[in-house]
Amino acid sequence: MKKFIFDVDGTLTPSRGKIHPEFAPLFWELTKSEAVYLVTGSDRQKTLEQVTPEIYNSCKRVYNCSGSDVYEGDKNVYRDEWELPKDVEIHLNDELSFSKFPLRNGNHIERRPGGVNFSILGRDLDPMKGREEYMKWDKIHTERLYLARRLRYSFPHLTVALGGQTGIDIGPEGADKSQILRDFSKDDEIHFFGDRMERGGNDHSLGEAVKKMGGYPHQVKDWEDTRTQLLGIYD
């Protein structure tokens, strides 16, 4: 059976933005005719805001928090609670103090079921003040890449991946997007669309696992590329 799995940020929507009105009707129709699943590092409320409740509830399942908080419509079918270890929290606060990026929005350690998202910029403002500035800063200084490497070195028992455009997803070992494949079979024809499939990106583990199952990972640049590649499957 053909099954479609989609990342959200950077794949269906701009990062932390809403699905484009040109794309929403096509994607909603896809959820009506095919088995469609979403997987995202964000929580349920943020995902609802991004893709609309109509699309969210039309999907077979939505794997929020990288698969640690799972919904079928408005029914929660699985949730993994995890507490951030105190020594890791101290390390993250030290990283925040050491960073030379000048802007701070607050809510730098966002706690979610099954993990946290750490952001030097912070997540309290929406749209986030300084978002574009931080993305440019990070592209030049690769701050998140080196921060993630330090975390993996200091805490090898954690799962650490670049999440979205400004954050880092942190959770217990094995708590990455690939964990959702517990609900899929090798008999399924799986198509996974994601924008962060490079090593260290939070779509990488799922893309590699889908490939090993004989499925098809689709690296995309943005929602327009997702639409183009999706339409190509039906040509």
117-167 confidence digits (pLDDT tens): 999 999 876 656 788 899 999 999 999 999 999 999 999 999 998 877 889
The model's pTM is 0.83
Q: How far apart are CA 128 and CA 131, in angstroms?
A: 6
Tell me the domain boundaries of the chain: 2-80+175-233, 86-172
Backbone angles phi, psi at 65, to 5 degrees: 50, 45
Helix (H, G, I), strand (E, B) or coil at 164: coil
Instruction: Give residue 234's region: left, alpha or beta (phi > 0; psi -120 to 50).
Output: alpha
Task: Say which CATH class 86-172 falls into.
Answer: alpha beta
The CATH number of the structural domain formed by 2-80+175-233 is: 3.40.50.1000
Q: Print pLDDT tens along the chain (235 aa).
A: 899 999 999 999 998 789 999 999 999 999 999 999 999 988 999 999 999 999 999 999 999 999 999 999 999 999 998 899 999 999 999 999 999 999 898 889 999 898 999 999 998 766 567 888 999 999 999 999 999 999 999 999 999 988 778 899 999 988 899 999 999 998 999 999 999 998 888 899 999 999 999 999 999 999 999 999 998 886 6
